[in-house]
């Protein structure tokens, strides 16, 4: 009897080195390549563990956002910073912040699985915010790995003090913003 089968081989994503943190080169996973020659990069591993904020899941005013755009990039040269493109992110809002929404008509109802966590996010309460360095978004969940728990850019919408994170078992969970989770930085890299 002959054996025939279909094999699925997962090719690891490409990685690049760009910038330094704590005196070490940073390794990035190429999450996506765009037609304009830019690339979406996410740090291959967590660059540290820290709270999202002391009290709020509002990304715009969060301590994590401030840290990523100051302390994390402090060792980047001017040349390296010139390769980081400013992007406009769609920011889901908690039910407490729904009055600040520019679009959407409901809280973000979600599923714990990576392939369904983004369901209904486009019609949930949200606004837009420009970022240079940020954390993984819902759109990125299916394409990046989960060796260790890390924050994602999506609040728990039932209150203003819990944030979602990717757990090391591949499920999306939520916890108090003052808890420590891994940080994976994201940038849109542009060749010059």
pLDDT for the residue 146: 81
- Min mean pLDDT across 52-56, 137-141, 151-155, 186-190 is at 137-141
Residue 95 in this model has a pLDDT that exceeds 90: no
Counts of helices then strands in the chain (DSSP H, E):
2, 12
Instruction: Give the separation between CA 191 and CA 85, rounded to whole angstroms.
Output: 10
Q: How far apart are CA 25 and CA 159, in angstroms?
A: 38
**pLDDT more than 70, % of the chain:** 88
16-45 confidence digits (pLDDT tens): 999 999 999 999 999 999 999 999 999 999
**What's the pLDDT at 1?**
47
184 burial (CB, 10 Å; 0-12 / 13-18 / 19+) is buried
For the stretch 46-83, pLDDT in tens is 999 999 999 999 999 999 999 999 999 999 999 999 99
Q: How far apart are CA 126 and CA 89, in angstroms?
A: 10
**CA 71, 88, 14, 70: dihedral to nearest 10 degrees?**
0
**Count of beta carbons in the 10 Å neighbourhood of residue 117:** 21
- Cβ-based neighbour number of residue 139 at 10 Å: 16
Q: What is the pTM of this model?
A: 0.88
Please give the Cα distance from 69 to 74 (Å, whole number): 8
Q: How far apart are the first and last CA of the chain?
A: 58
Counting beta carbons within 10 angstroms of the beta carbon of residue 173, is it exposed (0 to 12), middle (13 to 18) or buried (19 or more)? middle
């Amino acid at each position: 009897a002959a054996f025939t089968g279909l094999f699925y081989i997962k090719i690891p994503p490409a990685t690049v080195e760009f910038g330094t943190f704590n005196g070490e080169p940073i390794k990035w996973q190429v999450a996506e390549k765009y037609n304009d020659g830019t690339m979406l990069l996410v740090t291959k591993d967590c660059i540290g563990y820290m709270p999202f904020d002391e009290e709020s899941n509002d990304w715009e005013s969060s301590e994590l956002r401030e840290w990523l755009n100051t302390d994390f990039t402090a060792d980047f040269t001017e040349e390296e910073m010139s390769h980081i493109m400013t992007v406009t992110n769609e920011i889901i809002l908690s039910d407490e912040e729904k009055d600040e929404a520019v679009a959407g008509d409901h809280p973000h109802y979600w599923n714990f699985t990576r392939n369904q966590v983004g369901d209904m996010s486009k019609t949930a309460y949200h606004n837009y915010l420009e970022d240079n360095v940020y954390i993984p978004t819902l759109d990125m969940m299916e394409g990046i790995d989960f060796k260790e728990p890390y924050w994602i850019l999506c609040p728990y919408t039932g209150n203003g003090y819990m944030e979602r994170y990717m757990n090391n078992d591949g499920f999306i969970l939520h916890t108090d913003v003052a808890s420590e989770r891994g940080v994976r930085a994201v940038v849109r890299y542009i060749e010059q």
